[in-house]
Structure 1
Amino acid sequence: MYRLASAALLLSLGACAARTPPIEVTRFNLGTPIERGSVAVRANDGQDQQSLAFRLYAGAVSDELGRVGYVPGQEETSLYLATVDVATGTRAALATRSPVSIGIGGGTGGFRGGGVGLGASFGLGGRPRDTVVTELRVQMTRRSDGTTVWEGRAQGEAQVGTDAADPDVAARRLAAALFSDFPGNNGETVSVR
């Protein structure tokens, strides 16, 4: 009986994981190696750097930067500044935001602050399910001259009430996807599970 219950639990967990859509990631870089060094993580203008939500994402981004060879630094003295922008809402609402690129990919307008909200998607049987879409954007600039050396966007969605919709889980999942295969191919959009 114990083995049967364990097998059923594993199958249900696997089914839940399979239903979590992949994260769409787009990155831009200069096509040259990015020197490793210190990086200070900061909030984009219009976002509260002291908020719990920002600190979750800043921590996840900082951890991933550490994994790819960067060390934490102070904003006044670090080699790089990593500007973090987070928005949560519906896919349609996030599509109206400015393009991901600020300095490298040719977008206009730069980062803008994000909104919060829930959208509805329709699953099997046509029953509406609340879905939250979260977008994480990070831009790395060389502090000394303000040159953007790397930037990226990761966008994922999760059904409200699932583990994947938990803010801490979402922050870690989006940051891990964004920095997978860092720096990534310039201008390429990939799906990361």
Structure 2
Amino acid sequence: MPRVRTTSALSPLLIAAALLAGAPAALHAQPYGGGWGGGGWGRDPFGPYGANGRDSRTGSEPSKKVDVTTFRAADAGSALGQGPIVIAAVAPDGYDGSEDNVEPDAKLPVYEAAVVDQLAGHGYNTATSGADGGQVAEVAVSHSVVQPEEAPHKPVSGAMSTTISNRGSGVGLALAVDLSKPKKAIIGTRLEVRIRDKATRRVLWEGHAEGVAREGEAGLDNTAVATRLATALFAKFPEGTEVAALQP
């Protein structure tokens, strides 16, 4: 199973028929619950990448495809895409501070910034802080190792063979030179966004986008990944699969 490195993990989502418990509208870290679908929207623990740790759609190389799923409240009406909106931090679920996990807030601001750009481009007023009314966009990000980094290559390898017969003996030697660098790990990233009415905490829209990318010498290019996922996630905003509204 791939080793998961969590930037900001999610608590399970409620099914559509569930009722959302009342919660304060403060914009500090809070659990990422109260939406549609099952935990993680029912995703396979390996996603589209296969149990062998490789992207099953493209072999050993990372796919450029981004998988997107979105939901929209049946009674959202014209509320989406207008008015003030702020980004709310999402409390990590089960983060234990171990070295196998990334500090929850270390990369999240990069993804939040990409989401803010998309929200502004779709009519929201993002130049606000703590304004009364409006909406809240909750953002969460998680990473998983889809394909580990290759082991270091041997620069020189070879094989030797010896033959002996009634005509004499011989020695054969074959050398292989490999100066290529090991391939870096392929990382899967999942960006999730939920938009709520700030006053009532009612969910208006939510969606997630998943993609893979190979790490560079300096690690994963989170800026590029964030832009790619956020752009795909909001490409058809505010469209989404229409579902029953969840009342607080």
1:134–1:69 Cα change, 3 Å: same
1:119 and 2:146 correspond: yes
- The correspondence for 2:88, drawn from 17, 25, 42, is 42
1:177–1:25 Cα change, 3 Å: same
SS in 2 for 1:58: helix
Partner of 2:66: 23
1:46 Cα deviation from its structure 2 partner? 2.2
TM, length-normalised to structure 1: 0.62
Partner of 1:64: 118
- Tell me the distance in 2 between the aligned counterparts of 1:172 and 1:46: 22
- Structure with higher Rg: it is 2
Partner of 2:134: 79
SS in 2 for 1:155: strand
Letter in 2 for 1:30: A
Say if 2:87 and 2:136, in contact at 8 Å, map to a contact too.
Answer: yes
Letter in 1 for 2:110: L
- Tell me the distance in 1 between the aligned counterparts of 2:147 and 2:183: 6
1:20 Cα deviation from its structure 2 partner? 4.0
The number of residue pairs the alignment matches comes to 138
CA RMSD of aligned residues (A): 3.3
Say if 1:81 and 1:143, in contact at 8 Å, map to a contact too.
Answer: yes
TM, length-normalised to structure 2: 0.49
The residue correspondences of 1:4-19 to structure 2 (distance < 5 A) are none
- The one-character-per-residue Cα deviations of 1:69-127 (angstroms, maximum 9, x if unpaired) are 001232452400100000011xxxxxxxxxxxxxxxxxxxxxxxxxxxx2317xxxxx9
Structure 2 residue runs of 5 or longer lacking an equivalent are 1-60, 94-101, 149-181, 243-248
Letter in 1 for 2:113: G
Say if 1:40 and 1:78, in contact at 8 Å, map to a contact too.
Answer: no
Deviates more, 1:69-78 or 1:33-42: 69-78
Say if 2:62 and 2:186, in contact at 8 Å, map to a contact too.
Answer: no
Letter in 1 for 2:122: V
